Structure 1
Amino acid sequence: MNYNDVQNEIKEEISNTLGQINSESVEKLLAEIKQADKVFFVGVGRVLLSLEAVAKRLAHLGIKTYVVGQITEPAITEKDLLIVGSGSGESAFPLIIAKKAKKYNARVAHIGANPDCSMKEYSDHFVRIPVSTKLQLPNEIPSVQPMTSLFEQSLLLLGDSLALMLIREQNIDMPSLWEYHANLE
């Protein structure tokens, strides 16, 4: 197997997956993001890495974003949104954080693959990325990639899609975004 064959398989998987995400659920998530005073993100492992990239990109657009657990994380309130990334919807830490966010009357959006999960109890909104999870449920898009790589990649690109939707909706001048980019590097 050579590089060209592998990267073509991965591109096809990602294209197929992104094409099967419900656009109305994405538009509703975008509305939730725009309505929130602050947007918090929680996930674990590689999902967290993808969410951190999404948080950073939205921060470039002037949205106040925080990753749960970072040292400068403020209090969550009823004016805020928690975005949970969890393919299975069963990961313990995100479940605990979502439950706590609801205690403070924050909105909770879950981006995952499993609509019938424990996270459903705490979520106000769900965006399904219909890929294979660690649970190996029916109606999931299979992947040639290891473990849940397709979910993590799709989560990152979903975040970039949300950012581009915001840019176009608000007619943001792309070069002006550099004012929000880190400059102590």
Structure 2
Amino acid sequence: MSMQTTQYLSVILNELHQTVGLINDQEVEEFVDGIMQVRKIFVAGAGRSGFMIKSFAMRMMHIGLEAYAVGETITPRLEKEDLLIIASGSGETKSLVSMAKKAKDIEAKLSLVTINPESTIGKLAKPIVKLPGSPKEKEKSQYETIQPMASLFEQTLLLLFDSVILKLMEKKRLNSSTMFTRHANLE
């Protein structure tokens, strides 16, 4: 079946619209509260999930939170009582599992956004936000999507993180104007 590009876009938007009703508000509220209770926030993800969570760290910086992406040269060390947020569809990515275990050894807080809360990282993390989506291996999923690999999960991640920023802005009584004062000015 061949479609126009805008028809594909329409189907993707419909898939994203369906994901909203499958996200648990209580899980997201716990996730937001966890962010509000710490001084330093670290984010990690692999591949496209990594890009999405780095954009989240950028927005957290814009609202005045101390946020870092793991692996950057200017990222400080994770310490007890800091928060590590991992975005992983499978919850089984070896490098992220290793980071999660290290965070627990340090006694840092650990949050996970995933398709698979029962994963290795899921057993270590709290809170967990479960997102609908399809893992890279489609035959293991019951969620229908026309998109390749984990695209639906990654898109939902970006939109969820932008929604969390709005909630954090509300809690901190911020608006876009106050955020703009932290926007990069050496571009």
TM-score by length of 2: 0.94
8 Å CA contact 2:92–2:121 kept in 1: the answer is yes
5+ residue gaps, structure 2, are none
1:157 aligns with 2:159: yes
- Large movers: runs of 4+ above 3 Å: 135-138
For 2:52 and 2:148, how far apart are their aligned partners in 1? 16
Deviation by residue 1:41-67 (Cα, 9 ceiling, x = unmatched): 111101100011111011100011111
1:134 aligns with 2:136: yes
8 Å CA contact 1:17–1:141 kept in 2: the answer is no
For 2:123 and 2:152, how far apart are their aligned partners in 1? 25
- Quote the residue 1:119 is aligned against: 121
For 1:128 and 1:47, how far apart are their aligned partners in 2? 14
- Quote the residue 2:105 is aligned against: 103
- The one-letter amino acid of 2:143's match is I
- Quote the residue 1:51 is aligned against: 53
Report the alpha carbon displacement of residue 166 of structure 1 after superposing the two structures with TM. 1.4
- The one-letter amino acid of 2:162's match is D
Count of matched residue pairs: 184
5+ residue gaps, structure 1, are none
For 1:50 and 1:56, how far apart are their aligned partners in 2? 10
1:17-28 → structure 2 map (5 Å cutoff): 17-28=19-30
Report the alpha carbon displacement of residue 14 of structure 1 after superposing the two structures with TM. 0.8
Counterpart pick for 1:85 among 84, 87, 90: 87
Report the alpha carbon displacement of residue 120 of structure 1 after superposing the two structures with TM. 2.1
Q: Secondary structure at the match of 2:149?
A: coil
8 Å CA contact 1:88–1:135 kept in 2: the answer is no
For 1:158 and 1:11, how far apart are their aligned partners in 2? 14
Report the alpha carbon displacement of residue 135 of structure 1 after superposing the two structures with TM. 4.5
- Quote the residue 1:61 is aligned against: 63
RMSD after superposition: 1.2
For 1:142 and 1:78, how far apart are their aligned partners in 2? 40
- Quote the residue 2:31 is aligned against: 29
- The one-letter amino acid of 2:150's match is T
8 Å CA contact 1:80–1:107 kept in 2: the answer is yes
- Quote the residue 1:169 is aligned against: 171
8 Å CA contact 1:40–1:68 kept in 2: the answer is yes
Q: Percent identity?
A: 36
Q: Secondary structure at the match of 2:179?
A: helix
8 Å CA contact 2:132–2:143 kept in 1: the answer is yes
Report the alpha carbon displacement of residue 171 of structure 1 after superposing the two structures with TM. 2.2
- The one-letter amino acid of 1:81's match is L
For 1:180 and 1:22, how far apart are their aligned partners in 2? 31
Report the alpha carbon displacement of residue 118 of structure 1 after superposing the two structures with TM. 1.2
